[in-house]
Structure 1
């Protein structure tokens, strides 16, 4: 009988290859967050995904986690093609580019300043969250991890001053669909400091997903939560007053 690992690897690989959705309730749940990460890593290896970037987060129990972002990497104005029936959520974020490798150092944790010194650029980023799981509200987090935290694609917008990481308070997140506002609220990061999940992942104890390497993009987490798009069409996002990214969902 197939294990949970084998079952999820097979079904998620198939769904990503043919851009289909699977029923969450029909899937086994990994026994732990680390098991979820291991399955995600195996899926990425099977699909030949490049380690081009990472979305980092901190689980409710304090465990640092990450999702591989192999692409598509999109420019403002490009079209994002979602799977038929998939829920698409929009997240306004600040992304960082690594200028040099960040090797694991379990006995010498990185400081915030030291970690940021490994980065040379910050960007306004827009993540499209598109899970392979249909009806994924309330999904067990270990299963969400196996699905790469629902990563769909990423838009890299304009370059920002690195100081924005210290000045999130006072910024505003705005999203509209086909000219109708669907979100307009102050920017808030779930961990307070946008660098917190990146720092937690850099100081992780287990290497399951691959390393933090020069040239990769690390996104620091949403400043607006995951905003469900009620339909397809022209999306305008703004991290006011700094700038914005326009795109098309299709």
Structure 2
């Protein structure tokens, strides 16, 4: 009899290969966040995904979490191909590139300054959230969402920005339009206040459930606009005003 992790792994692997969606009622739910992370890691191994980067976060109970971003990363102007029927959400983010490894070292927490010293570049990043789980929004148990890498679909690595931007978000705005129609225009706000908080939490995690933080990886620090639902497909323009703009096509 397959375990919950094995059942979830097999379903997500098949859905990603087929570019199809899973009705969540057909899946067992991992009992814990650790089991959800284990299922995510098993999916990555089964698909042979590269550990090119991570989206980091903090669960409601304070547990550090992460989702694999395997790349290859899209460039501004590229086309993102969504699965038929999938819900696509757009997130404007700040991303960092690791210039050296950040070894797992329980009992010896990293400081914010140490982590920043391990990064050589910052970018405007645009994440497309596209879960393999059908009708997921507000309806999926978090360990199952974690098993699906928190719905990571793709990532556009935009222009390089000053790394000091992470120290102060004041005066920044997030703008998104679809086919010339504005769908979001609000000040940039991070859910944890400081965009470095989830990265710091993951670097200081108690268990090494997924994989290492290594030189060359991209770490995205969380959305500055929440997850903005795209009401359709077409030409998308995103701006982190006044710093940078990224255009892409959803298809």
Q: Give the TM interval when normalised to the shorter protein.
A: over 0.9
Q: Distance in 1 between matches of 2:72 and 2:128?
A: 10
User: Following TM superposition, by how much is the alpha carbon of 1:167 offset from its aligned partner in structure 2, in angstroms?
Assistant: 1.5
User: Following TM superposition, by how much is the alpha carbon of 1:213 offset from its aligned partner in structure 2, in angstroms?
Assistant: 0.1
Match of 2:168 in 1: 167
Match of 2:150 in 1: 149
5+ residue gaps in structure 2?
Answer: none
RMSD: 0.6
Instruction: Show structure 1 runs of 4+ deviating over 3 A.
Output: none
Secondary structure, in 3 states, of the residue corresponding to 2:195?
A: coil
Task: State the number of aligned residues.
Answer: 250
Q: Distance in 2 between matches of 1:3 and 1:107?
A: 32
Are 2:223 and 1:222 aligned?
Answer: yes
Match of 2:46 in 1: 46
Match of 2:66 in 1: 66
Q: Distance in 2 between matches of 1:25 and 1:237?
A: 35
Residues 1-250 of structure 1: pairs in structure 2 closer than 5 A: 1-138=1-138, 139-250=140-251
User: Following TM superposition, by how much is the alpha carbon of 1:169 offset from its aligned partner in structure 2, in angstroms?
Assistant: 2.2
Q: Distance in 2 between matches of 1:31 and 1:13?
A: 20
User: Following TM superposition, by how much is the alpha carbon of 1:107 offset from its aligned partner in structure 2, in angstroms?
Assistant: 1.3
Q: Could you give the per-residue CA deviations for residues 46-105 of structure 1, whole angstroms, max 9, x where no partner exists?
A: 000000000000000000000000024100000000000000000000000000000011
Q: Distance in 2 between matches of 1:72 and 1:19?
A: 17
